Amino acid sequence: MGSLKTEEEIEEESKDAVLYVNGVRKVLPDGLAHLTLLEYLRDAGLTGTKLGCGEGGCGACTVMVSYFDQNSKKCVHQAINACLAPLYSVEGMHVITVEGVGNRKFGLHPVQESLASRHGSQCGFCTPGFIMSMYALLRSSKTPPTEEQIEESLAGNLCRCTGYRPILDAFRVFAKSNDALYTSGSVTSQEPKNGEFICPSTGKPCSCGPNKETVEKSDVCQSGYKAVSYNETDGSSYTDKELIFPPQLLLRKSSYLSLSGFNGIKWHRPLLLKHILELKLRYPNAKLVVGNTEVGIETRLKKIHYPVFIWVTHVPELNILTVDHDGIEIGAGVRLSELQNFLKKVIEERPVYETSSCKAIVEQIKWFAGTQIRNVASVGGNICSASPISDLNPLWMAAKQNSKLLTVKGTLEPFWRRISFWVIVKWIWGYVKEFKQAHRRDDDIALVNGGMRVFLEKRDKKWIVSDACIVYGGVAPVSLSAVKTKDYLIGKAWNKELLQKSLEILKQDVVISENAPGGMVEFRKSLTLSFFFKFFLWVSHQMNGQDSFNESVPASHLSAIESFHRPSVTGSQDYETTKQGTAVGSPKVHMSARLQVTGEAEYTDDTLMPPGGLHAALILSKKPHARLLTIDDSGARSSPGFAGIFFAKDIPGSNITGPIIEDEEVFASEIVTCVGQVIGVVVADTHENAKIAARKVVIDYEDLPAILSIEDAVKFKSFHPNTHRCLSKGDVDLCFQSDQCHKIIEGEVHIGGQEHFYLEPQSTFVWTMDGGNEVHMISSTQAPQKHQKYVAHVLGLPMSKVVCKVKRIGGGFGGKETRSAFFAAVASVPAYLLNRPIKLTLDRDVDMQVTGQRHSFLGKYKVGFTNEGKVLALDLEIYNNAGNSLDLSLAVLERSMYHSDNVYEIPNVRINGSVCFTNYPSNTAFRGFSGPQGMLVSENWIQRIATEVNKSPEDIREINFNSEGSILHYGQKQDCTLQRLWDELKKSCNFMKVRSEVEDFNRNNRWKKRGVAMIPTKFGISFTTKFMNQAGALVQVYTDGTVLVTHGGVEMGQGLHTKVAQIAASAFEIPLSSVFISETSTDKVPNASPTAASASSDMYGAAVLDACMQIKARMEPIASLKKHTSFVELVNTCYFERIDLSAHGFHIVPDIGFDWKTGKGHPYRYFTYGAAFAEVEIDTLTGDFHTRAADVILDLGFSINPAIDVGQIEGAFVQGMGWVALEELKWGDAAHKWIPPGCLFTSGPGSYKIPSVNDVPFKFKVSLLKDAPNDKAIHSSKAVGEPPFFLASSVFFAIKDAIIAARAESGSHGWFPLDNPATPERIRMACAYEFTAPFVKSDFRPKLSV
């Protein structure tokens, strides 16, 4: 191989590092090896590509890269995560960002147009990532992609707002043969002769279409979306403006690169295998990198420093994929997506008996991360990471994979190095099968996985195991081969006796210690048995029909081994439009949609940093409760780029803040009360330098006792002061003692918390003006006034000198109501003291660790009822986990108490509530504001009553419904449309028919079970604190006839600005396009309440209408002359007559108020009612589940914008599904001893799983109750943001219904607890059958952080 080159000789071979971005040539200078592609793009002003998580888990950073592949001699176009891609890794490639796809000035691409026009964008932060994933799929597809390919391409993109259905509908048109059905302007094509509307989701007649009057002409191509051209270089083109692959890159030859970066990083890109070996000899600890999907996580999250990287993607030998008579040779650098496509072809071309292992690998890769990760992750990287949960390593082992080694004699010192560069998969006879169980089906790491192989030979009329391999991942530090089980299998006949004995041996083969990392020990152990049982059934089924094979699989068992095939999502939306004026009542598209799909919509972190601007990073506590002894900041002060460090002593004003009571220090001064509490802040020239400096601060602690659960708080009476509350009605004790109650039950409900996971992390940008006399900020917040107040308080300034502006925020859900103000206060200190602009944007893991979540709850109930199931008395103790400061936790507790009856008439009620102080970061508001927690407690005891009286839960619910005029337990009378909703839902979902079909399915399927449930809800609308129910607005009419509206509400994706603009447009009888809302600002509308409580459209809409009516009243004398032919003429005439065309509007919510001394009052203006049906199917062997159908109906009065309201319902429902079935917070507590005390383990998308595109119900129907005006809100509408959230509990109770069927078949009857979230662990362990019996009893309750 020749002598080893010196570094100087290698560097002489390097040429300019060249990159094309959106068709523009960029020369990359040396010194940038520490940057990711995302950092480079955003620094270059291409801020459409977002930073959502920094670990490739959310897809917000998706871009398309194109490069010429030397093997295929074609250009490759694929989506990647820019947050993980090192900048130099895309050298020689063409990077297209969302800005390069299309824009408003020069025209939107069909992908962008389709998503915008079909309501596929709400907050918009995730939207560019979805656009780029779909765009890459279309560019790379010679023929239109299938619906399955479209859904698969989006599995690596997360959305927290929309519920995904409109995104799927928007993109599905590219796979449809008849795209005209989807073009909103083609009214005639949507109307068959019988007048029925053709549903865009199904292509069939349905009632989901909009009223003909509301269908608008759009810019959508009326001939449908089809590629206009295709070639091997540029891929598919959909417009004549499509960016081509730069011809210069076709002519350019790859060169050896040797570059550097910050902190001594060296970055090499060799072209030859010998170069890799030479570099590895020089740098023995160098990292060989292909996709950076593992190393990138290690460097960013685990803070590991690797000084030398060897990027091996350009070495031809490592990209080999060949087939011969012996098997397949796979280069270690082959990407997983490439391998998947290659193996699919092999499976088509080779005999079936040769390709069992290929099929298993293809199927496993399908569930391996998202498309963006598979496009860059390599075979070798997956093997070399030696992860205990590697999805492929168990299969390589099971498939008899061999490694081909190169042995190189070192020339620098006498040693040998052995490096593996190829994987050899040989053709093997027999059966190979893959297994994997994760929290979420798509784009999730395994809890347990497996690869199994068996070869059967016929001997003496028996099928004997001649070879076998059983391998598990997720049960040991590395993939574990079950050697004892394998040894037993060989030589044995394949029959039930073998199965039973193997299961016994497996219990000894796989041993997991009680506090093993990852927890869920009982579940993981039981999965090893389930996987083998499934393997036995699968092999037996494959062998069916073979001579002398008698182990046929019963028909009732076949569902256990059927491959999961997800049908495409079909959605329908049923509503009527009640138009009022020019815009109100119409299903208008979100006003920012076109900005969002092009990446032109700006968010806080997109704000251009001015000269002299600095970035901030937090210094955080590492202890849950401790005394601060010493703080050594010398390391930070000498860190590169350091500009300042600030602690409690540096605060110019007050160090104590809080939204209700001031009980939270900005910077901890003496005592820390949670992990993640802010101790100080560092500012530096870059975000990375600020974080590095913050990590260099050394703090000594003295540990103090910590309260880490509600149970401990109750035990040690750890409550926030003055937070006990009580509500009562009737005489509970007397009722229990009387003979009216035929039965009395008692129990506990444990309710898990939930992370907000807004796609845009907490972010604030603060600067001073006029020599430091004023402070201004742009923040991602739901409460600009709180930012203004906090910053003024901390800096010792009057509020009149502090201004907070908000253009839009990338999701909030309550998490940016109060907690965001705290971080604005933190950032304001260095900004004010240094008189320099400061930007503070939290990394996703920090955001999740320190900003608080939905409150976990503990409910202890005692319920008395009759033999018929009529509820007579409820005695409830309810506790919430507030964390280390009060924040909004008392108001949260109060709403849970108001909603603890859900929709049920209970004559005697007593509810006692307490707010627990624990040593966790302060929990805060979240969509529903704990109403869902209170209602979930009630639905638990409703279902338990059903069990006790042997009736269906739906029957128990209905006989206990509130009726019109019911007086609730806090004294409020209600107007009720519940029964009408319930009846319409039963008819819509055909409940009795589906119930019968489910029972038939369950009778015929042993290992798969289905369940159904119908759930009602009642949600009170208003802030429960009276003074907050006020709103202001400013309306200004200009002489060109356009109107500028400013109000106190914040646009966070819920369509508030769009609805408010519709109200203004209708008030003036002008087109919606003539109304503009720029931003929310405290210097335009003062003292605004937070955008929360679902009440913003009601309040700010009414305030805007008030201002409009004032202006119209002033214009009336001129207008009455009827001499104008247009609004513009009228406005100009008024202007010349010196009529004021500006007005401040104001609104207060009437007839509300509550007195906690008496426990009676009217906390709510009105109620929003709803009901939902869900059907689910569970795999009792693994705990996996999917939602087959969801049918949701709400009473929203006369909707101001039904399209936006439907989007809110779908988004809330899917977010609620996450709370009840997917999203589990795991804290370091007594239940999770493998996590350091007080620390959050689930601090990113890698470990915390929100619903993905493949969690959407297969059939998703949303309806709005017709002809139900609400006279207590503007234009007879009702609030929508929070009420639908709880309806997702229909999925939870459908899961429980399926579990009941499974337990019954195993002989377990009666009540059992099921805590939320109903994760695979809880589902599987609750099923209580022979595979769980060795590890737990039937009443086992998996651990939950509460």
Active site residue ranges:
1282
Please list, residue by residue across 925-953, b when 16 or more beta carbons sit within 10 angstroms of its beta carbon and e when fewer do: bbbbbbbbbbbbbbbbbbbbbbbbbeebb
Determine the Cα angle at 1117 with ends 1116 and 1118, to 5°. Answer: 90
Contacts 24+ apart (CB under 8 A), 1111-1116: 1111/1035, 1111/1037, 1111/1140, 1111/1141, 1111/1142, 1111/1143, 1112/1067, 1112/1068, 1114/1139, 1114/1140, 1114/1141, 1115/1139, 1115/1141
Q: What would the two tokens of residue 131 be? A: 């656009």
Partners of residue 426 on adjacent β-strands: 327
Single out the residue of 88, 105, 98, 97 nearest to residue 27, CA to CA. Answer: 88
Determine the Cα–Cα distance for residues 150 and 144; give it in Å rounded to an integer.
Answer: 10
Q: Which three-class secondary structure state does DSSP give residue 1308?
A: coil
Single out the residue of 590, 518, 594, 545 nearest to residue 105, CA to CA. Answer: 594
Count Cα atoms within 13 angstroms, Cβ side, for 551: 19
**DSSP secondary structure letters along 672-701:** E-STT-EEEEEEESSHHHHHHHHHT-EEEE
Partners of residue 458 on adjacent β-strands: 463
Contacts of residue 210, defined as CB under 8 A and 6 or more positions apart, other chains included, come to 197, 577, 587, 1203
Determine the Cα–Cα distance for residues 1079 and 119; give it in Å rounded to an integer.
Answer: 21
Q: What would the two tokens of residue 36 be? A: 């990711």
Q: What would the two tokens of residue 206 be? A: 């349905």
Q: Which three-class secondary structure state does DSSP give residue 171?
A: helix
Q: What would the two tokens of residue 376 be? A: 């860059």
Q: How far is CA 420 from the centre of its chain?
A: 38
Single out the residue of 489, 478, 10, 521 nearest to residue 270, CA to CA. Answer: 10
> Helices then strands (H, E): number in the chain?
36, 50
Determine the Cα–Cα distance for residues 663 and 722; give it in Å rounded to an integer.
Answer: 13
936 — phi, psi (to 5°)? -65, -35
Determine the Cα–Cα distance for residues 294 and 288; give it in Å rounded to an integer.
Answer: 11
Partners of residue 451 on adjacent β-strands: 434, 471
Q: What would the two tokens of residue 916 be? A: 């627990």
Give the gyration radius of the chain's Cα atoms: 31
Determine the Cα–Cα distance for residues 677 and 695; give it in Å rounded to an integer.
Answer: 14
Q: What would the two tokens of residue 1341 be? A: 């309750």
DSSP 1183: -
Q: Cβ(105)–Cβ(790) under 8 Å?
A: no
Token pair 């977002």 is at which residue?
50
1057 — phi, psi (to 5°)? -60, -40
Task: Look up residue 947 and give its amino acid.
Answer: T
Q: What would the two tokens of residue 1298 be? A: 């399926």
Distances (CA, A) of 1333 to 526, 1126, 1297: 9, 78, 21
Determine the Cα–Cα distance for residues 567 and 436; give it in Å rounded to an integer.
Answer: 20
Q: Which three-class secondary structure state does DSSP give residue 818?
A: coil
1161 — phi, psi (to 5°)? 155, -165
Classify residue 430 as left (phi > 0), alpha (psi -120 to 50) or beta: left
Q: Cβ(488)–Cβ(501) under 8 Å?
A: yes
